[in-house]
Amino acid sequence: RGWEGLIKNRFRRLDPRSVGGIIQTGGTILLTSRCPEFRTPEGIRKAAENLAANKVDGLVVIGGDGSFKGALELSRETETLMVGVPATIDNDVYGTEETIGFDTAVNTAVAEIDKIRDTAISHERVFVVEVMGRKRGFLASAVGLTVGAEVILVPEVPLNKQEVFETIKANAAKGKRSGIVVAAEGIGDTRRLAKEIEENTGAEVRLSIVGYAQRGGSPTARSRLLASLFASEAVNLLAEGIGNRVVGLQKGEITTISLEESCSKQKPLNLELLKLARVLAT
């Protein structure tokens, strides 16, 4: 159960048979949870003590930015080597172009929005589709570009409602009375946004929230391949006695950066993708 399991000393020995036949399953057999206690000095101390008591030489931390920041804090209290493997649908880990699970989440959202597009066209409606992303818009931008969304809204770019209204009205003037607005959940109240779009454009607007389906489902081939490559590199690092690193993908190559660097820097969103999406949607 992640950091909670470490604090509560819930260790389980795994062998090759323990992980047989799981490559096609979503989620995690290790289970996971949020652990407020791990954010306290006492929680960190308990975790370090349990690592020592169980003679853990190396710990592979699978997760995102929050997990890695926890690993960095823990590394200061233990001799156990830490290696981070980026796995988050947010794709916001600095030091890698892509994280495990991101491609799967994109494909899940795209499959749903493709169906929504069918009914949007048939009924000449505009749909605001909310995808995950409280703080970052990597998922929304990739999904929006892939489905040909007329508008993509991300937390990194201040919401300009008037621009959204004008885009939808301009499309309607050209005879395109249906449309898709892909919005990351972090941009604000999407229900209210859908209502305001309807009031200011005259379009018939509906809201659809993709929700937690983005966190599950059978991993895509790309996510499986990335997981295999990252895992191999993580094990190799620990075998060589190298710790406090984060595995990543850069320009098609498996790379590593320091855990501290990954935690201290913010991965930039490629805003050119949003510009491209606007061009393709006109």
The closest alpha carbon to 164, from 196, 207, 204, 118, belongs to: 196
Catalytic one of 65, 90, 92, 103: 90
Tens of pLDDT, residues 98-120: 999 999 999 999 999 999 999 99
pLDDT of residue 140: 98
pTM over 0.85: yes
- Give the domains, in start order, of the chain with CATH numbers: 3-101+219-264 (3.40.50.450), 103-216 (3.40.50.460)
Query: Which residues face 268 on adjacent strands?
Result: none
What phi and psi, each to the nearest 5 degrees, are found at residue 81? -75, 135
Query: Which residues face 179 on adjacent strands?
Result: 126
Is residue 90 among the annotated active site residues? yes
Residues 6+ apart with CB under 8 A from 138: 90, 91, 92, 102, 267, 269
Taking residues 251-277, what's their average pLDDT? 95
Torsion of CA 43, 48, 52, 57, to 10 degrees: 130
Concatenated DSSP letters of 149-215 = -SEEE-TTS---HHHHHHHHHHHHHTT---EEEEEEGGGS-HHHHHHHHHHHH---EEEEE-GGGGG
Indicate if the pLDDT at residue 10 is higher than 80: yes
Tell me what the pLDDT averaged over the chain comes to.
95
The closest alpha carbon to 262, from 83, 47, 28, belongs to: 83
pLDDT of residue 282: 75
Tens of pLDDT, residues 127-152: 999 999 999 999 999 999 999 999 99
| First and final C-alpha spacing in the chain | 47
pLDDT of residue 9: 92
Tens of pLDDT, residues 38-76: 889 999 999 999 999 999 999 999 999 999 999 999 999
Residues 6+ apart with CB under 8 A from 248: 86, 93, 95, 96, 97, 254, 255, 256, 257
